[in-house]
Structures are given as structure tokens and as C-alpha cells.
Homo-oligomer: A and B are copies of this chain.
Amino acid sequence: MITASIVGATGFTGMVLTDLLDRHPEVRLDALTSVSYAGRTVPDLFPQLRVRGAYVEYAAERVADSEYVFVCYPHAAAHPVVAELLDAGHKVVDLSADFRLSEPDAYPRWYGFEHPRVDLLGEAVYGIPEVYRDAVAHARLVANPGCFPTVSLLAALPLLRLGSVGRVIVDAKSGVSGAGRSPSRKTHFCTVHDDFRAYGELGHRHTSEMLQEMGAAAGRSLPVSFTPHLLPVDRGILATVYCIPGVVAATGAVAPLLSQDELEEMYVSAYEGEPFVEVRRDVPSLGEVQHTNFCRMAVRVDADAGLYKIVGVIDNLVKGASGQAVQNMNIMAGIPETMGLGARA
């Protein structure tokens, strides 16, 4: 049995992680920490969960018995705790953004702080198993990807690896749980219900992860335009990803479009054997993946307009956060990757 704790367990990602680890057949759930709710019980906050324990204040000794610690703090607040936990010998899956970007310069630019632990940036593995499974298996520290990057990268990377895409546009639509559990005007029911809007229409922080990983896949820096929108839905992200052919270095000409069959075969083959990625003929809807760790997608060649469209869906709290975190832990621990992730979460 693996012993695991959650630091900062009372947000939405903490809630789903609590439920997943509680049901995981190989995990013993140890401490659940909370700054604001120490002393309150889980059913008090989340009556729909079957976990019955209480939250405690974080302290290093509270989690001392846990081999794995999941950190669900906001960015900039997570890295000191992560560093402390690593020093104490724990393995850490960090659900914040604090170790997702490998370039130290990216932190002041995208997150507004100087990163004090450049050494750990080099060590952290960006935890998208479909790309970095082997590195995850040997990591002490996994930086769990953002929700928007997870679905966008899974949708775009097979095409980008061809080297012939010149530009990516990610038009993403997210459920409200992505905005977190703290009440605010923008998450008030009367603001969101029967409504729809774009937000962070320039410079959303998740763009940084897309630039890093899409550039890595393409072998060169790519322009990526990302626009998130807010759906009147609780959970899930649908990303419509447009990949526009560019000039291929070798030929100096714009690459010809693949046919629909070629595109589909390339994607099916890229994800063959992946337990949580499904390439389908029909365009998937959010409902197909809500409460699951699956990413589903369909691919289309828009021959008239000369571009590719990939429509991908995930549950932002599962494959986009806590489910992927468990998937990473499973890989790190050398147990079956799908363990504890089969039921609805």
C-alpha cells in the first residue's frame, strides 16, 4: 500500500483528489491539510464524498508517513512547500504552476515572481504521461500540467511533430469549476447561468505551457493564440484547436494538407495503447468525459479553408488535474497506470 497526503485539500482539485485516493485500491489516504478549514470534516464541506475524516493544518510532521504528497496550493505559494517536502524525502506531485515551466525567465513574465529554486525547475518532470511517461516514472517531482494545456497538447502534438504546422489557435471552453471554489462575482450563478463569455482573452497564463510544449514538439518556436471561454457548465473543457500549415524549412513551401484518412490514421497510431486517450470518428461532447480521466478527440481536415481542426474534451478536474495527478503517481510507483481511475470521479 502507498501512503499519500494532500496539502491544500479543500479546493475543487483537492476534493476530487480526496475522492480518487480514497477509492484507490493501493492507496492509504493519510493527512488532508487545509489553511482555512482545519478542524472541519470532509462531509461538512463535501457531503457527496464518502470520506469521513477531518482536515488538519499543514505541518511537515503531519505528512511524515506519506510516501507521496500532492500539493494543491496556488502558484507562488506551492514552491516553498514542495521544496520542503522534497528535502524531507517525499515524492511530490505538484498541481500548481510552480514547476511546469522549465525556463526560469518564464516565471517573472507569466507569473510575476522570480523562481528561487532553479535547481528544482531542472529536475521537475512535466507530467503529461502521453509525452513524458518514462521521465515521470523516475521523477521525484512531477509538475502536473494545467487543464487547458493538457487537452490542447494532446490535441495538437501529433500534428506538430510533423514540423509542417506554422501556427496554432486554441479556442477553449471551460466549465466553471476551473475558476475555483472561492465565491466571486464571476462565479455567481446569476452571472454564469444562461450566459457565455470569453475571458483572459489575451495573455492567459496557460499559454506559457502551450508555447513551451508545442514549440518542443514542433522543433521550433510557434505562434500560439489561446482564448479561454466560460461555459455555464460545472465540469469539462472542450478545446477546438486550429493548426495552420506553415512553410516547411526543407522545401521552403507551405506543406500540402494531409487527407482526412491520413490525419485520422496518424492520430490513431499516435495514441495506440494509450489507456486514457481516444481518437474517435464522431466529434465528442463534454458529457462523454465528465467525471472520467479520458481525453477524447476527433480530427478534421478543412480542405476548403486549408487547415486542420482537432476537437478535444477532458474533465478539467480529472484528466485536467487530479486524475492526471493520480495517473502520474501510479507511474511513479510502478503500479498499473489505470489503477483507481476506472470509475466516475
Would you call A193 and B194 a contact (CB within 8 A)?
A: yes
Instruction: Decide if A302 is an interface residue (CB 8 Å cutoff).
Output: yes
Q: Which residues of chain B are near A194, meaning CB under 8 Å?
A: 193-194, 233-234, 286-287, 290
Instruction: Decide if A164 is an interface residue (CB 8 Å cutoff).
Output: no
Would you call B284 and A236 a contact (CB within 8 A)?
A: no
Would you call B188 and A185 a contact (CB within 8 A)?
A: no
Instruction: Decide if A117 is an interface residue (CB 8 Å cutoff).
Output: no
How would residues 33 to 56 of chain A score, 1 for a CB under 8 Å from any chain B CB and 0 otherwise? Answer: 000000000000001100000000
Instruction: Decide if A187 is an interface residue (CB 8 Å cutoff).
Output: yes
Would you call B190 and A285 a contact (CB within 8 A)?
A: no
- From 255 to 289 in chain A, residues with beta carbon under 8 angstroms from any chain B beta carbon are 280, 282-289
Q: Which residues of chain B are near A167, meaning CB under 8 Å?
A: 244, 305-307
In the complex, given contacts A12-B190, A190-B234, A193-B194, what are 14 additional A-B residue pairs having Cβ atoms less than 8 angstroms apart? A47-B285, A169-B305, A171-B171, A171-B240, A173-B173, A173-B229, A177-B190, A189-B189, A194-B287, A201-B311, A225-B302, A225-B304, A232-B233, A242-B242
**A residues at B contact (CB < 8 Å):** 12, 23, 47-48, 167, 169, 171, 173, 176-177, 181, 183-185, 187-199, 201-203, 223-225, 227, 229, 231-234, 236, 238, 240, 242, 244, 280, 282-291, 298, 300, 302, 304-307, 309, 311, 343-345
In the A-B complex, the 6 residue pairs with the closest CB atoms: A344-B344, A225-B305, A197-B285, A343-B343, A183-B183, A195-B287
